[in-house]
Amino acid sequence: MQAEDVINMLRAHKGVYDVFVMDGAAAVRMELEESKNGGFCCKYENRALNESRSMDLRLCVFSDSFLEAPTEMMTVLADDSGHIFGHDVPKGMSREKIGEEAIWVSSTYVMYAQEMPTSDLKFVVLPHSVSFLENLKGVSKVVAFNPAISTNVFLRERFGYTGPVNATSTIIAVNFSE
């Protein structure tokens, strides 16, 4: 029943077009798509995908935008030691979290040049949550992320999604409490 509750809540959420349960084959193919990304500038690491692997339920949600307006970084440019050299700046992010040394390269992205990277930079997708799902009885953890464009194309084909062409996909993984 818990999985049905999560799916029903998502389907009722404003802006959601459809929700699909990811089976093992879809999850493996999604992971293959995500693993070949990064050629645009650097290595690609999807920490959210890594964290979602062992969770109880994985869903693909097609919607008109983010399920919740982000208030934290969703992607970073980092080296292998974890130093951050750039990140996105969502509209809802507190400006106090951005250091004075930030170099604004666009209205939604900053870079930092205070030190040299210890390795090649990588583009890292960070896990985020969906608070209205975390508040559901029986849900212990939620991890969400927006996959790469090529993965989005695969997911549309895999699930036969025929809704609005400008829909975004979000992968949501859920753990249930015992």
The token duo for 4 is 């049905």
pLDDT score, position 37: 59
Instruction: List pLDDT tens digits, range 65-102.
Output: 999 988 899 999 999 998 999 999 998 888 888 888 89
Domains in the chain, start-ordered, CATH in brackets? Answer: 1-39+47-64+128-178 (3.90.1150), 73-125 (no CATH)
The token duo for 5 is 């509750």
pLDDT at 38 over 90: no
pLDDT score, position 1: 61
Burial tier of 48 (Cβ tally within 10 Å: 0-12, 13-18, 19+)? buried
Give the 3-state secondary structure of residue 120.
Answer: coil
pLDDT at 39 over 60: no
E strand intervals along the chain: 16-21, 43-46, 57-63, 75-78, 84-88, 103-106, 109-111, 122-125, 139-145, 168-176
Burial tier of 149 (Cβ tally within 10 Å: 0-12, 13-18, 19+)? exposed
